[in-house]
Amino acid sequence: MVRTVNGNWLIRARDGRLGAYTTRDEAVWCRAEQRPGGIWSPWRKVGGEQRLHPALAVGQGVNGYAHLVSWRPTKAKESGLVHSTHFRVHLAALDWTPAGHPDKAGARTGVPAVAVDAEGRAHVFVGNRGNGVHALVQKERGGWTAWSDLKGSEVHGELTAVTGESGRVEVYGTDAAGILRWLQEEPGAPPVPADPLPVRVEPGTLSALPTSKDHTTLFFADPEGMLYAVRPGNGPTPLLAAAGPGPAALLRCTLEGHDCTLLAQRSASGRVAFAAYPTEQESAGLWWTESGPQLPVDTAVALAEDADGRIVAATVTPDGELRVARQKDEPGLALAAWQEV
């Protein structure tokens, strides 16, 4: 699976509209509902005519603003990171502005990750030339702090960044020994290393979801294709065989009055597979249920809640075909028919 978008590319904006992002034709593209629950506008470019590499990180703050980070070519064989803020998904985003390079200059070093802290500051994370991790923190009044070297070595290329329920930013990566963790201790400061989790991880399968005030649950597949959940202080819990490649899309939601964790992946059959269980109660068990049409390889899957609190699943194909399925007004996870929008 070619992963070009890091983070949840389906978001609910401050005004309740859903917005979707993808990369295509050397640009980032966005579609949005014209009103909450209404028809969708056509795809449009984000941030002007800047030519970009096919890599995008999406992070959203509690204020609903989306922070977007990508790579742009600067000169021969060199690239730099750029950042844009999208205040309202149905309107134009700000133009792309330079954010620098973890090694000051050079070729791009992997798909970035971005999370937004409780104060609305974006935190950007990206691998460096030495296979470690660098961080860049947005200042409250604009601009960026200097790059911080979070250390690490032989870190796999894809990072996962989230903001915990505490409002503190967390970033995770993997290496041959397991899951690496960096946790923010003070507002506005870059995260610092925490004890790693010694587990067997297939690169490119890690995703994270805040599941309580104190915990973020990490989901990953091992090299044999078994999907696991793990939290610090608890050993990894096997869940079920992964439905397909890449990381699972995650959503914490309410099903029949219960706090649940919902997972979704494009399955080996090409359809979207869903599984849910009571949050942090992995022993309850879960199983995949497939839905929708067969989709091309490298189709991305995402989950969100709409303005009415209904679960929305979305897929976007590499050529930009967007499909959406919305939860029915009946018990359980019953989705209406998938619709191309």
Domains and CATH numbers, the chain: 5-198 (2.120.10.10)
CA–CA gap between residue 22 and residue 55 (Å, rounded): 9
**Which run of H or of E encompasses 312?**
strand 311-316
For residues 163-176, give the mean pLDDT: 95
Residue 241 has pLDDT above 60, yes or no: yes
Q: Using pLDDT thresholds of 50, 70 and 90, give the confidence band for residue 209.
A: very high
| Contact assessment for residue 317 and residue 330, using Cβ atoms and an 8 Å cutoff | no
> Strands 160-163 and 148-151, how do they pair?
unpaired
- d(Cα 27, Cα 310) in Å, to the nearest integer? 31
Question: Rounded to whole angstroms, how far apart are CA atoms 31 and 149?
Answer: 35
Residue 59, pLDDT score: 97
pLDDT (tens digit per residue) in 32-48: 999 999 999 999 999 98
2 — pLDDT class (breaks 50, 70, 90): low
**What's the pLDDT tens digit per position in 257-268?**
999 999 999 999
Do 289 and 274 contact (CB within 8 A), yes or no?
yes
pLDDT tens for residues 88-136? Answer: 999 999 999 999 999 999 999 989 999 999 999 999 999 999 999 999 9
Q: Report whether pLDDT(285) > 90.
A: yes
